[in-house]
Structure 1
Amino acid sequence: MNNQKGVVFPMVMIVASVFIMLTILMIDQFILDKRFYKEVEESLVADHLVHLAVKDVAEELGEVIPDIIQGEISYPNGVVRYSLTKQDGPYVYLEFSSTTKNGRVGRVIIQYDKEAGRVIEWIEKQAM
């Protein structure tokens, strides 16, 4: 028994070091994933706000579209501002900009057909 010459202690230290390194790596990965999911959640909330505003404004407009239209709609998760950018025959271009409570911005330009009463084209813009 006295002839082991200290083999167990270095093995325990190596196994413990590997376990501690893996634990630190897993914690780091968890923190990165948590940040990523929070960013995705904010992006989805901003996108959802724009969808809600497009639906509400399209119902409000119907077939009557004034020359100058601007407005702001407040939702529990943020605010959406919209404005008419261009009228081209039967088509109207509206720009929507949403801002969540945490500051995430989403921008969309839609092409709305006055005669059909529906959205024809959906152009997403990068938030600036």
Structure 2
Amino acid sequence: MNNQKGVVFPMVLIIASVFIMMLILMIDQFIIDKRFYKEVEESLVADHLVHLAVKEVTAGWEAEIPEVIEGHITYPNGVVRYSLLKQDGRYALIDFFSTTNNDRVGRVLIQYDKEAGRVVEWIEKQTS
């Protein structure tokens, strides 16, 4: 028993320290990834709400766009507000502003072609 040099205890401390540091790094990375995926999910929900609203608002326009377009559509995941910005000749510019239940905001401007009956330009705007 007197020939033990005290090597085992320091080795166990070193291995345990490395293991604990790796565990802390993995937990930290998991938390960062979780936040990122939540942000991506909210962004996709806001974008999807705008897509649904564009389909719903433009569905009834075969030949002519009403002079005054303004309103909102409520979905289970949020609300989309829309308004006609400009209408001249063949094209109309309509602004869609979505807000999810978790307050994520999305904004899209579309240019609608009255003669073709479809969206010809889709402009995503940054919101502050």
User: TM-score, length-normalised on structure 1?
Assistant: 0.97
Partner of 2:46: 46
CA positional deviation for 1:3: 1.8
- Distance in 2 between the 1:2 and 1:84 partners? 90
- Distance in 2 between the 1:121 and 1:2 partners? 85
Q: What residue identity is the alignment partner of 2:7?
A: V
Q: SS at 2:33's partner residue?
A: helix
Q: SS at 2:18's partner residue?
A: helix
Q: SS at 2:37's partner residue?
A: helix
Is 1:69–2:107 an aligned residue pair?
A: no
Any unmatched runs of 5+ in structure 1?
Answer: none
Identity %: 76
Runs of 4+ in 1 over 6 A off after TM superposition: none
Deviation digits for residues 24-82 of structure 1, max 9, x if unmatched? 00000000000000000000000000000001111023322122210100111000000
Q: SS at 2:60's partner residue?
A: helix
- Distance in 2 between the 1:62 and 1:126 partners? 31
User: TM-score, length-normalised on structure 2?
Assistant: 0.97
Partner of 2:32: 32
- Distance in 1 between the 2:102 and 2:84 partners? 26
- Number of aligned residue pairs: give it: 128
- Distance in 2 between the 1:11 and 1:2 partners? 19
CA positional deviation for 1:127: 1.6
Is 1:100–2:88 an aligned residue pair?
A: no
- Distance in 2 between the 1:61 and 1:4 partners? 89
Partner of 1:85: 85
- Distance in 1 between the 2:113 and 2:102 partners? 33
Q: What residue identity is the alignment partner of 1:126?
A: Q
Partner of 1:59: 59
- Distance in 2 between the 1:122 and 1:68 partners? 21
Q: What residue identity is the alignment partner of 1:19?
A: F
